[in-house]
Amino acid sequence: MDKPQPDAFDLNPANSQTRVRHKLAVILLITLLVAYIDRVNVSVLVADRTFLVDMGIADDPVGKGMLMSVFLICFGIGSVVLSPLGDWLGPRKTMIISILLWTVALIWGGLAAAFASMLVSRVLLGFGESMHFPMLSKFVKNWFPLHERGKANAIWLLGVNVGPLLGVPLVAWAITSFGWRANFYLLAALGVIPVILLWKYTADHPHQYKGIGKAELDYIEAALREEKEKEARFDKGGVKENLMMIVRDYRVWLLVLAYSGTSSIWWGTVTWLPAYLKEARGFSWAAMGLWSTLPYVFAIIVKLAAGYAVDKWRYPAQFYAAGLFGSAVFIYFGAFAESSMAATWLISLGIGTLAMGTPCAWLLLQQILPGKVIGTGSGLMSGVSSGISAAAPVMVGVFIALTGSYVGGLMFMVGWGVLGGIMCLVLAAKQKR
């Protein structure tokens, strides 16, 4: 009879294993959290009159939008072009290089004397942060058995939601207390934290980490043995052959389209929700600031629950489809709700439900691709989806202009939810064959 496997996050001291992989998941969370604090920086800065005047874009909405669009475009390009570094250097060194690059970007932003110089800062930040998602995914692939990856992915992906929750008040406090330039230097200093954690307490593979116990190492390696055998077969090809094998895999492209739907809904709502609550629903500034955080709270709860559920029951493609379809349904009814509070809760639930799919998306990719090329494959998924979703904030604005109300923009995001959900159902059907 096979010995029962230990629970993935069981910290009972009676078990003789170390729990290094669980500490790794927390370090990955902290790293992404710091990255997302940096990302919300611009969202707060565009509300600071001094910054806008200094940059010469006080009355230039296109210029304000460029600060986000330039970042997203470079993030998408960098995800595809730079993520193979992780397959060459390993995720640990690549992530440290990434953080050092974004630190330079933030210092440059603090020194910027003109709008063009600030755009250079955003370009550097986009390329610097572009390596994160692929490397975080590669860490999970290298360290966690398949039946633990739902929870592991859910843990580090919490940074997407916790970062803005902490970042908005932190950035607002820094700007009002010390000015917008000092805010950039504060965020640059925060980057020291993940660099130290990654350098001292992580390794590319479990067997390279001196602090791991034999029981945990044996447990991980035994669980990953089958995947390692597949990876060995995959390694027979060169770089070009490996890349072509990824590109030709229809499952990767189904997943890319689904993740593009997730990213488009996310960036569309993050960009327009505050304005929607203020202009379409008549919220005060204080109320708008408070209720704008509700989607992040829902997303944290849903993401953790989805991570545990997909490890218990599997079916990641079906869970992902449920998240996208659920998001579309909630946003649809929220758009037509007569009550402002009902609309706020429904749309927030829609954004929160969207989080059900993110751990599943990365788990599916980790199932489809061997570890040798997971960095490249993750970069492809992250990069293409980021490039597509970079247009989402603009397209929402276009649909608002064409229809004369926010309903048109919300329906654009509903459409992405339906399309992404269909891609997940096709992927689920293909996996059964």
Residue 182 pLDDT exceeds 80 = yes
Task: Please report the pLDDT score of residue 433 as a whole number.
Answer: 47
Task: Please report the pLDDT score of residue 15 as a whole number.
Answer: 41
The letter for the amino acid at 175 is I
User: Taking a C-beta distance cutoff of 8 angstroms, is the pair 131, 82 a contact?
Assistant: yes
Alpha helices in 248-391 (DSSP H): 250-275, 285-291, 294-313, 316-336, 340-354, 357-368, 374-389
User: Taking a C-beta distance cutoff of 8 angstroms, is the pair 194, 30 a contact?
Assistant: yes
Q: At 180, list the tokens.
A: 């917008």
Task: Please report the pLDDT score of residue 339 as a whole number.
Answer: 92
Contacts of 144 (CB under 8 A, 6+ apart): 8, 21, 152, 220
What mean pLDDT is reported for the chain? Answer: 84
Task: Please report the pLDDT score of residue 280 as a whole number.
Answer: 83
SS3 category, 355: coil
Residue 7 pLDDT exceeds 60 = no
Confidence of residue 432 (pLDDT cuts 50, 70, 90): low
User: Taking a C-beta distance cutoff of 8 angstroms, is the pair 320, 119 a contact?
Assistant: no
Residue 285 pLDDT exceeds 80 = no
Dihedral sign, CA of 117, 121, 122, 124?
positive
Highest mean pLDDT among 56-70, 210-224, 283-297: 210-224
pTM score, whole prediction: 0.75
Task: Please report the pLDDT score of residue 389 as a whole number.
Answer: 84
For 2: left if phi > 0, alpha if psi spans -120 to 50, otherwise beta; the answer is beta
- The tens digit of pLDDT for each residue in 26-58 reads 999 999 999 988 887 877 787 778 888 999 988
The separation between CA 154 and the C-alpha centre of its own chain, rounded to angstroms, equals 11
Confidence of residue 183 (pLDDT cuts 50, 70, 90): very high
| Calpha distance 35→39 (Å, rounded) | 6
| Calpha distance 410→334 (Å, rounded) | 9
Angle, helices 180-190/20-39, rounded to nearest 10 degrees: 170
- The tens digit of pLDDT for each residue in 350-405 reads 999 998 888 888 889 888 887 777 777 888 888 888 888 888 877 877 787 788 88
Q: At 80, list the tokens.
A: 């595809």
Q: In angstroms, how far apart are the furthest CA atoms of the chain?
A: 72
Contacts of 71 (CB under 8 A, 6+ apart): 39, 42, 122, 123, 125, 126
The more confident residue out of 129 and 231 is 129
- The tens digit of pLDDT for each residue in 94-135 reads 999 999 999 999 999 999 999 999 999 999 999 999 888 889
Task: Please report the pLDDT score of residue 61 as a whole number.
Answer: 64
Q: At 186, list the tokens.
A: 């504060």
**Taking the CB of residue 333, how many other CB atoms lie within 10 A of it?**
16
Confidence of residue 281 (pLDDT cuts 50, 70, 90): confident
Residue 169 pLDDT exceeds 90 = no
